[in-house]
Amino acid sequence: MTRWIKRLSDYWFSEAPAARLAALRILIGMFVLYYVGVRYDMFVKIARTDESLFAPVGLAALLSKPIEATLFEALLIATLLLNVAFILGWKHRVTGPLFGGLLLWVFCYRNSWSMIFHNDNGMVMQVVLLGLTASADAWSIDALRRGAPAMRADWRYGWPIRLMCALITATYFVSGVAKLASHGVAWADGNALRAQVAVDGMRKELLGDPAGPLSYVLFDEVWLFTLMGIGTLVLELGAPLALLGRRLSWFWVVNIWLMHWSIFFIMGITFRYQMAGFLFLAFFPVERGIEWAGSKLSKLSLLLKRTNPRMAHMLAAAVLTGATLV
């Protein structure tokens, strides 16, 4: 028993570089800034929806009625400002938990108008976790101001990443159990999935949107829905197995990512955070990608400065303009 606990503890508290958790903070923070930023007007309009449609969930359940739309807008602005502080890693001990808490509240409120969007759960949970943990010990203003040497690999940077991966697999497992609970193993025969695709397409067409691009083409191919049904159940119920090894986790991530793209092509449903791969970043040594890109850029910049300084300036300007536009 003690041996198992030790093995579990070694696994859960394995070391990771500070830069990995920091890279997750920066990349996920940038996605959230984009995601909330482009939805700013929509969120504000939602806050002005008819009060009778208010069905509070999560933290918003503490409210007996909607808050003033202007107060919501102020909180949304505060969330975006804290989002920038989160990306930069500025006073993270204060701004990190504040950002996580506010983002959770904003999304609970956004989901309190008769529809829960299940694609946002993972994103919000990951931000809360990154906000509460030491994700700004590297690649941050805090780290620069401290002037301390680079942080070594430590279990304190490893366990939040382990937890992020476990939470992701747990949500897919819960989704798989819902399918089993409603239909039993028969869900895998594809008929339930086919019916869902049909109902979704029908709703869209009757409410003025086009059905998913492939829904009509594939509707009569029952065998394909059977294949997808089996695949979905195996991937969702087997999700916790992805925690057992690096290669297994990568295999699972690639397949679940393909599942989201299939949903997009067949039903036209965009799970943006999942399809863009951000939900699954915790499974990869993301800091290496950033370091690689950084070293390539600096090499290119050095080379250009030597051979063509004017071109180097133009490239720097283009990169800056591109980053600003993004």
Do residues 136 and 96 touch, judged by C-beta distance below 8 A? yes
156 binds another protein (CB under 8 A): yes
57 binds another protein (CB under 8 A): yes
Six token digits for residue 117 = 């969007």
Site string for another protein, 95-134 (x = CB under 8 A): -xx------x--xx--x-xxxxxx-xx--xx---x--xxx
226 binds another protein (CB under 8 A): no
In the chain, the N- to C-terminal Cα span, in Å, equals 52
Query: CB-wise, 115 or 144, nearer to another protein?
Result: 115
Q: Which stretch binds another protein (CB under 8 A): 180-188, 241-249, 277-285, 287-295?
A: 180-188
Query: CB-wise, 59 or 315, nearer to another protein?
Result: 59
139 binds another protein (CB under 8 A): no
64 binds another protein (CB under 8 A): no
Question: Inter-axis angle of helices 222-237 and 191-206, to 10 degrees?
Answer: 110
Phi, psi of 190, deg, nearest 5: 95, -15
Can you tell me the distance from the alpha carbon of 104 to that of 46, in angstroms, rounded to the nearest whole number? 16
Query: CB-wise, 14 or 321, nearer to another protein?
Result: 14
Least Cβ distance, residue 106 to another protein (angstroms): 11
Can you tell me the distance from the alpha carbon of 38 to that of 76, in angstroms, rounded to the nearest whole number? 12
Query: Of 72, 108, 36, whose CA–CA distance to 273 is shortest?
Result: 36
CA distances from residue 241 to 170, 234, 235, 238, 285 in whole angstroms, order as listed: 10, 11, 9, 6, 19
231-250 binders of another protein (CB under 8 A):
232
185 binds another protein (CB under 8 A): no
Query: CB-wise, 42 or 293, nearer to another protein?
Result: 42
Query: Of 127, 114, 97, whose CA–CA distance to 35 is shortest?
Result: 127
198 binds another protein (CB under 8 A): yes
Query: CB-wise, 123 or 253, nearer to another protein?
Result: 123
